[in-house]
């Protein structure tokens, strides 16, 4: 008995090979950027409690870790530094022998083809944990831009391929482009955290990188999760200032923003699958409540389907093995 249905969508799902042939979105390891937390010392692998599988690494251990990353065909890492000492300005942030500068030199020496991205922000380096210089409780914008210029320039001098300002200061992309060009680093690329929300999902990262604000919050510079139109303005501004790549962060609660940004512009878009998103999956999987592999691949596929070209994710190594 047959109802003579004119269209049967199930027909294309009726064979595994056919399903593979009509699949619209495919993940590849080249989609991924793997975050690394770099700490002083030697032989150090300090696990991060809320991020199972992720550790703070000393430079030698980071070099060893990246051997595996490269073998998995993941083309890029983003570096976050844990300084020896913190102060009001974050002096190590732009020191020639700072932790990120050392790590960048070591990684580029070991893996010339690896794209090394450096996070450019103040919060891990300042004793108050804020993303800018402060006066009283106010985060100063333009004074902070001068520091960001020094940081980005020192990263470029150490060999960074891509600098990624993440502090949501107005004018940060233009300020960094200006200083890089002035010093002939015209090919050093800017990945702007253009659309970064004041999110509860950064919790584990703040433990990992030791950059939690000592007072107040980040709502005076990061965006209100309620706002979508405002994301368009941030993207337009950063493009006008010379951003080469645009980031949306976090990823999962902001798939609509990734899609909107994809429709707004033609530059490649990166999405940051942040620490809290990682922690949720790891916790559920550890309890046997989710199939980790299936859940991770589904989420990463969703981020790509929404319009991201690149995904910063702590799942990168696992996902590269699974696909
Ligand atoms: C700031 C920065 C943060 C993250 C990346 N860069 C933390 C913050 O804004 O508080 C979060 C990344 C994550 O949660 O995985 N330098």
CA dist 107 → 27, 33, 79, 100, 178 (Å):
26, 15, 10, 10, 26
Ligand 1 pocket test: pick from 82, 274, 313 the residue with the most ligand atoms within 8 Å of its Cβ: 274
User: Would you state the pLDDT for residue 101?
Assistant: 98
What is the 55 CA–ligand 1 centroid distance (Å)?
16
Per-residue model confidence (pLDDT) at position 235:
98
| Residues marked as catalytic | 196, 249
Closest CA to 99 of 158, 34, 164, 167: 158
Token pair 């990188």 is found at: 209
In this predicted structure, what is the pLDDT of residue 207? 85
Tokens of 261: 């940004």
Q: CA nearest 217: which of 192, 233, 198?
A: 198
Rounded Cα distance between 32 and 316, Å, is: 6
Distance 83 CA to ligand 1 centre (A): 16
Distance CA 199, CA 225 (A): 7
Query: Rounded to an integer, what distance in angstroms lies between the CA atom of residue 300 and that of residue 19?
Result: 19
- Say what the alpha-carbon torsion angle 219, 254, 243, 316 is, to the nearest 10 degrees: 110
**Would you say 281 and 296 are in contact if contact means Cβ atoms under 8 Å apart?**
yes
pLDDT per residue as tens, the chain (323 positions):
899 999 999 999 999 999 999 999 999 999 999 999 999 999 999 999 999 999 999 999 999 999 999 999 999 999 999 999 999 999 999 999 999 999 999 999 999 999 999 999 999 999 999 999 999 999 999 999 999 999 999 999 999 999 999 999 999 999 999 999 999 999 999 999 999 999 999 999 998 888 889 899 999 999 999 999 999 999 999 999 999 999 999 999 999 999 999 999 999 999 999 999 999 999 999 999 999 999 999 999 999 999 999 999 999 999 999 99
Torsion, CA 162, CA 166, CA 168, CA 170, rounded to 10: -30
**With the C-alpha atoms ordered 278, 249, 76, 80, is the resulting torsion angle positive or negative?**
negative
What distance in angstroms lies between residue 205's CA and the mean position of ligand 1's atoms?
6
Q: Which of 129, 211, 282, 314 has most ligand 1 atoms within 8 Å of CB, for mutation?
A: 211
pLDDT number for residue 239: 98
Q: Atom 5 in ligand 1: which residue has the minimum CA distance?
A: 166
Task: Name the residue among 142, 143, 165 with its Cα closest to residue 152.
Answer: 165
Round to whole Å and give the CA distance between 286 and 31: 26
- pLDDT the model gives residue 1: 87
CATH architecture designation of domain 28-322: Alpha-Beta Barrel (3.20)
* Residue 282, phi then psi, degrees to nearest 5: -65, -40
Position in ligand 1 atom list of the atom nearest CA 276 = 14
Residues lining ligand 1, Cβ inside 6 A? 119, 121, 123, 166, 202, 205-206, 218, 274-275
Q: Count Cβ atoms below 10 Å from residue 224 Cβ, excluding itself.
A: 9
């Amino acid at each position: 008995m047959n109802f003579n249905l004119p269209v049967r969508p199930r027909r294309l799902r009726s064979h595994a090979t056919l399903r593979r042939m009509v699949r619209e979105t495919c993940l590849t390891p080249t989609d991924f950027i793997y975050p690394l937390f770099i700490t002083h010392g030697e032989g150090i692998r300090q696990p991060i409690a809320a991020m199972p599988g992720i550790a703070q690494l000393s430079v030698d251990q980071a070099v060893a870790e990246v051997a595996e990353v490269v073998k998995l065909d993941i083309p890029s890492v983003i570096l976050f530094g844990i300084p020896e000492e913190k102060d009001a300005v974050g002096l190590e942030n732009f020191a020639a022998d700072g932790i990120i500068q050392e790590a960048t030199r070591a990684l580029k020496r070991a893996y010339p083809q690896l794209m090394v991205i450096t996070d450019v922000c103040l919060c891990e380096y300042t004793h108050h944990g804020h993303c800018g210089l402060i006066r009283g409780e106010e985060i100063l914008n333009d004074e902070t831009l001068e520091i960001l210029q020094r940081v980005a320039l020192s990263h470029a001098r150490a060999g960074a391929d891509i600098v990624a300002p993440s502090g949501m200061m107005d004018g940060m992309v233009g300020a960094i482009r200006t200083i890089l060009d002035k010093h002939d680093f015209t090919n050093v690329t800017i990945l702007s955290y253009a659309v970064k929300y004041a999110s509860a999902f950064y919790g584990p990262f703040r433990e990992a990188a030791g950059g939690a604000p000592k007072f107040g919050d980040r709502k005076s510079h990061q965006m209100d999760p309620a706002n979508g139109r405002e994301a368009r303005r941030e993207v337009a501004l950063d493009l006008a200032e010379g951003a080469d790549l645009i980031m949306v962060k976090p990823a999962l609660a902001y798939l609509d923003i990734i899609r909107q940004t994809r429709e707004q512009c033609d530059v490649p878009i990166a999405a940051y699958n942040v620490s809290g998103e990682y922690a949720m999956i790891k916790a559920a999987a550890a309890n046997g409540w989710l199939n980790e592999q299936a859940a991770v691949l589904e989420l990463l596929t969703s981020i790509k389907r929404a319009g991201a070209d690149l995904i910063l994710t702590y799942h990168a190594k696992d996902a590269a093995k699974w696909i």
